[in-house]
Amino acid sequence: MRRQLLWGGAGVVLGMTIVLIVGWAPVHPFPVLNRIDVLVRTEYVNPSINRERLEAGAIRGYLDAINDPYTRWIDANTFRHIKRRMSGQDDSATPTSTVTAMKLIHSTGYIRIGAFDSISGAHDVEVSVKALTQQGAQALIVDVRNNSGGLYMTAANVARLFLQTGVVVQMINRSGKISIERVRSPGKFVTIPMVVLVNDRSASAAEIFAAAIQENGRGKIVGNPTYGKAAMQRLFPLPGGSALMLTTARYLTPGGRDISKVGIIPNNMVAKLVDSDVNGEDPQLEIAIRLLGGIGDGLGSVR
């Protein structure tokens, strides 16, 4: 059974065996390219030319012609790394967590989600929030700043943890058909007050999560407008261990907004942080804590 992994990079293979059949005569779908391939293999001055490099170059050239910045070919080594991350492991086979930081600030719990690229992401968040509430957290800040995305379903399932009901995200395929992801049953943390932190590097799956929280009235968004990536990709495994990441759909927010190149606009806009801030202050975090009724002065940075 073919497995397609929906990510929230077919290529031309020189000497390809996939052909179009007209009557009984095989016809190459790209006759000029096929002729060039034959000439290079039979006439080029250097007979030891690297066929793998030729194939990779042809694939990349084909995909570049699509003019889609998100569609790309992934080589076998990179694809192995992606699959390990998605299974919750890094290259050393050590289990990794979606939650990259967790702490209690006064009575407010704080978690940072570094990426939504693990299928165990919702479980990781659930465990972290439970731990914080057991420590006395009465409110929650979820930080998805610099989160460039990952698996759309992981982001949707994390959002479901905090939603009582409603739409999580809408998807539109190439034919214009809209499919809707809804909350199937009340989440486990539907009453805890929450704020989501975002910035201009929050993209894709992170924007799906933030929009679900914002547009369902579940919590406030604090920070800067997000990146604005509304394209969704699928990973298609290819022969030889490589893969194609192909844009197959775009998504809309629960309310039907297209955020392409616009992003999620925070409820509370706070000046962009400077990474080299010598004082280590985090004004976005402090505003979030104040919104939740906590004490924000002099907290320092948790970035």
Active site residue 118: no
Cα of first residue to Cα of last residue in the chain, in angstroms, is 43
- Please check whether residue 151 is in contact with residue 134, taking contact to mean a CB–CB distance below 8 angstroms: no
Structural element, H or E, at residue 286:
helix 283-291
Choose, from 128, 202, 204, 242, the residue flagged as catalytic.
Answer: 204
Round to whole Å and give the CA distance between 244 and 108: 42
Task: Pick the closest to residue 218 from 260, 187, 257 (CA basis).
Answer: 187
Enter the DSSP assignment of 206: H
Contact 302, 273 (CB under 8 A): no
Please tell me the distance from the alpha carbon of residue 129 to that of residue 20, in angstroms, as a whole number: 55
Distance CA 78, CA 99 (A): 23
> Per the residue annotation, which of 229, 242, 261, 272 is the catalytic one?
229
47 backbone dihedrals φ, ψ, rounded to 5° = -75, -10
Is residue 229 part of the annotated active site? The answer reads yes
* Side chain identity, residue 219: G
78: burial class by Cβ within 10 Å (0-12, 13-18, 19+)?
middle
C-alpha distance from residue 48 to each of 16, 35, 43, 44, 228 (Å): 20, 19, 12, 9, 46
Provide the annotated active-site residues.
204, 229
